[in-house]
Amino acid sequence: MLTRENTKQLKGFAVLLMLAHHLFAFSDRIPYGFDFSRNIFLSNTLTSFIGVFGKICVPIFMFLGGYGLYASCVYKEDNENKIKNKFIIKIVNLYKCYWKVFIIFVPLGILFFSKQPQFSNENFGSSFSNVRTYNVISTFLGIETYFNYEWWFFKSYLFALFEGFMFLELFKNNKSIYKEVFVIILWYIIISSLLPNIISLCGLNSLTNNFWYLNLFCITSCSILFFIGICFSKYDIFSRFYKIIKDLSHIESIVISFITFVLCFYVKAIINNNDLDILIVPIVCFSVIVMINHFSLLAKGLLLLGNNSTNMWLTHLFYCYYFYPFVKIVYGSRNALIAFITLVVLSLITSFLIDLSWKYVSKLYNQIHIFLLNKGY
């Protein structure tokens, strides 16, 4: 079974893939005059492959989300209220992380980055011009992604949590993994193939623009991995994986895990079929954990990134897409590896500063609260 530390390490690995994906997978988002023409350590082909493979970051986060949801909400006969409370706590904590970033970066964008020149084909720099009150409120609630288009994952993850909770309720007394996997596959086929055809035949195409339909019924392979993560946690599938390699030496397990990871990388980068993520993601997660268990320094590094992964996910795009002065810093070397390291460092430092600032805000709030109580207010 994955430990809490393991899941954080995998989140650290996933956030690195996310940063690589956003840097290397979209040539039309690279600022004018800053293409990676000085690649020394990475070839352009390998950089492109890394960018495509990096797309697997969101499926990994979904898988780990489902895994963690079950691990923190293990059903017992007397803990149904505990499950509901855990669900609410997860939603509240996610919004708190989101709002901490929102109330810092959105005002900064409006105040200092609303009159930027167009510096890429996608023109993300214009996101902070002509801002309306509706844009602020809807993005604050997570309904829209006006100020950061890649915040779409926030809403998707919220709905995945809701659907994951319903899945737990539905199968809380079930002991058969086959029944749950069958329902997951059947649900995916109905939602992804049958339902769109039925809607088209019945002339209900207006549903395709409906908020609730899009978020509750447009299930992708990415969302399905949330349910698969629940099954992996509930039935401790990774322990069965470990039994396969338990008699191998350290070197053998490292080599086999590395080869398995490279094969997954190759399949994802070359074929680039999202449906394959359902098979690839658990294998990649297991391979990475086996490898880092033998390298303590790497394990500590990924743990550090994992502890800051939410802040890094929410902030890194401002540095590589939205705030032009920082965009020039990230891409300034015109070298893919240096750009990647720069973005990681900027995002990590930002995460430290966000947590530190809110630590002092919380401390100040508590002092004011105590003062007012003592004064009888």
Q: Which amino acid is at 172?
A: K
- Under 8 Å between Cβ of 222 and 277: yes
Q: How far apart are CA 57 and CA 53, in angstroms?
A: 8
Range of the domain at 209: 4-374
Q: Is the per-residue pLDDT at 81 higher than 70?
A: no
Band (pLDDT 50/70/90 cuts) for residue 83 is low
What would the pLDDT profile of 215-263 be if each residue is shown by its tens digit?
A: 555 556 678 899 999 999 999 999 888 888 888 888 999 999 999 999 9
Q: Which of 20-24, 38-42, 286-290 has the lowest mean pLDDT?
A: 38-42
Convert 179-190 to b/e letters by CB count within 10 Å (16 or more is b). ebeeebeeebee
Number of structural domains in the chain: 1
DSSP state for residue 330 in the 8-state scheme: H
pLDDT at 291: 93
Q: Is the per-residue pLDDT at 308 higher than 90?
A: yes
- Under 8 Å between Cβ of 18 and 54: yes
What would the pLDDT profile of 317-349 be if each residue is shown by its tens digit?
A: 999 999 999 999 999 998 999 999 999 999 999
pLDDT at 370: 78
**Which pTM value belongs to this model?**
0.89
